[in-house]
Chains A and B, each alone.
Chain A
Amino acid sequence: MSNFSNEYLRGLVLEDRVHRSIYTDPAIFELEMERIFGRVWLYVGHQSQVPNPGDFFCTTLARQPVVLSRDRDGAIHVLFNRCGHRGARVLNEECGNARLFTCMYHGWSFQPNGELAGVPMRRDFPAETLIDPQFGMVHLPRVENYRGFVFASLNPQVVALRDYLGEAIRGIDELVDRAPEGEIEFWAGCHRYEYRGNWKLQFENMADMYHPAAAHASTVGPDGRQFKRRSGGKGGDAPFFAENGEAIVAQTGVRGFRNGHSSEASLFREEQSGGVWDEYRALLVSKHGEERTREILRNRRHSMTIFPSVDILIAQTSVRVIRPVAVDRTEVQVYPVRLKGAPLQISIDVIRFVNITHAAASFIQSDDLEAFERSRQGLAASGTDWVLVARGLGGEVDEGNGVAFGDRSSEVGQRAQHYAWRDLMSAG
Chain B
Amino acid sequence: MASGISPAPGASNRPGVQLAELQEFIEHEANLLDEQRFDEWLELFADDGIYWVPARPGQESPLTHVSLFYDDKPTLRIRVERLKHPKIHSQTPRSKTVRLVSNFRLAPQSGDPAEHCVTSKFVLLEDRPGVERRLFGGRYTHRLRAVPDGLRIVSKRVDLTNCDQFFPSLTQPF
Contact = CB atoms under 8 A, between A and B. Distances in A.
B68 interface: yes
Nearest to A335: B66
Interface in A315-340: 331, 334, 336
A189 B89 contact: no
B20 to A, nearest CB: 32
Contact of A363 (B65, B70, B78): B78
A326 to B, nearest CB: 13
Contact of A188 (B65, B68, B90, B169): B65
Contacts of A369: 90, 168-169
Q: Size class of B's contact patch?
A: 20 to 34
A363 B79 contact: yes
Contacts of B53: 361
Interface residues of A, number: 38
A196 B78 CA distance: 27
Given A356-B75, A361-B53, A194 B167 contact: yes
A376 to B, nearest CB: 11
Nearest to A332: B166
Interface stretch (A44-52, A58-66, A347-355): A347-355
A48 to B, nearest CB: 14
A367 B81 contact: no
A359 interface: yes
B66 A190 contact: yes
A373 B131 CA distance: 9
Nearest to B63: A348
Which of B67, B71, B130, B164 gathers the greatest number of chain A CB atoms within 10 Å?
A: B67
A234 interface: no
Contacts of A251: none
A191 interface: yes
B133 interface: no
A269 interface: no
A336 B66 contact: yes
A377 B70 CA distance: 32
A10 B75 CA distance: 48
A187 B64 CA distance: 8
B167 A227 contact: no
A193 B81 contact: no
B3 interface: no
A355 B66 CA distance: 6
Interface string A186-215: 011111111110000000000000000001
B55 A189 contact: yes
Contact of B64 (A188, A365, A367): A188
Interface string A88-99: 000000000000
Given A193-B168, A360-B169, A367 B66 contact: no
Contact of A218 (B64, B65, B89, B169): B89
Nearest to A361: B170
Nearest to B174: A361
Given A363-B82, A366-B171, A371-B89, A189 B165 contact: no
Contacts of A354: 66
A370 interface: yes
A215 B90 CA distance: 10
A212 B127 CA distance: 27
Interface string A363-393: 1011101110110010000000000000000
A120 interface: no
A155 interface: no
B80 to A, nearest CB: 11
A90 to B, nearest CB: 21
B69 interface: yes
Nearest to B170: A361
Contact of B70 (A187, A193, A355): A355
Given A217-B87, A218-B87, A351 B167 contact: no
Contacts of B131: 373
Residue of A219, A363, A366 with most partner-chain B CB within 10 A: A366
A351 B82 contact: no
A219 B82 contact: yes
24 contacts: A189-B55, A189-B56, A192-B165, A193-B166, A194-B168, A196-B168, A217-B85, A218-B82, A218-B88, A221-B78, A227-B78, A336-B66, A348-B63, A355-B66, A355-B69, A359-B69, A360-B169, A360-B170, A363-B78, A365-B169, A366-B171, A371-B89, A373-B169, A374-B89
Given A195-B168, A367-B89, 13 more contacts: A188-B66, A190-B66, A195-B169, A217-B87, A218-B88, A351-B66, A355-B66, A355-B69, A359-B69, A360-B166, A361-B167, A361-B171, A363-B78
Interface of A: 187-196, 215, 217-219, 221, 227, 331, 334, 336, 348, 351-352, 354-356, 359-361, 363, 365-367, 369-371, 373-374, 377
